[in-house]
Amino acid sequence: MRCFLGLDLSPQTKLAIEQWRDKALPVTRSQIPACNFHITSVFLGDVSMPVLDAICSEVDHLSLPKAEILLNEMGYWSKPRVTFLTSTSPSSELTHIATKLSHIAKRLSVRVEDRRYIPHVTIQRKASHAPPAPIIAPDFTCQFDAIHLFESCSTEKGVRYPILKTWPLV
């Protein structure tokens, strides 16, 4: 199964980001549907059920803090060709969550990227170039009280991210 651990945005925030994107940026064919907006904490990739069960068992015993982020900056990464929203000052709680989950994955021999964690919400994929600066600055406060195990499912209508398991943040 292709999976990741992450944070789900509220439906209201997903719709607000979609509406902002549609007003502030040129419309492209590579727009991510609002239902897919999320923040990945750690990408697990293709993992077997025994490894996934072991990860879930480890997360069951964690006590992770509630977190929030102010999405107030737009960015673009040329190598994966994605446009995203992030924060000029990401919370230490989000980094703490990602670090703890990454350590669990590594301990269970899951290959995890070794690079600085930047919490973000991807809003466009396969963007051939960076979009122009938005005509309206992003300004979305997201609060999180749970971490989720998502599956990445390819369908005829595109990728979907059903939630397989949820853990509360305290």
Catalytic residue among 38, 103, 129, 148: 38
For residue 120, indicate whether it is catalytic: yes
Catalytic residue among 61, 103, 120, 148: 120
Which residues have C-beta within 8 Å of that of residue 110, sequence separation ≥ 6? 44, 45, 47, 51, 55
State how far the Cα of 68 lies from the Cα of 93, in Å rounded to an integer. 8
Cβ-defined contacts of 87-91 (< 8 Å, 24+): 87/119, 90/118, 90/119, 91/67
State how far the Cα of 106 lies from the Cα of 168, in Å rounded to an integer. 22
- Match 């107030």 to its residue by tokens: 72
What is the distance in angstroms between the CA of the first residue and the CA of the last residue of the chain? 28
For residue 148, indicate whether it is catalytic: no
State how far the Cα of 139 lies from the Cα of 109, in Å rounded to an integer. 38
Q: Supply φ then ψ for residue 134, to 5 degrees.
A: -65, 145
Q: Which two tokens stand for residue 18?
A: 């979609």
Catalytic (active-site) positions:
38, 120
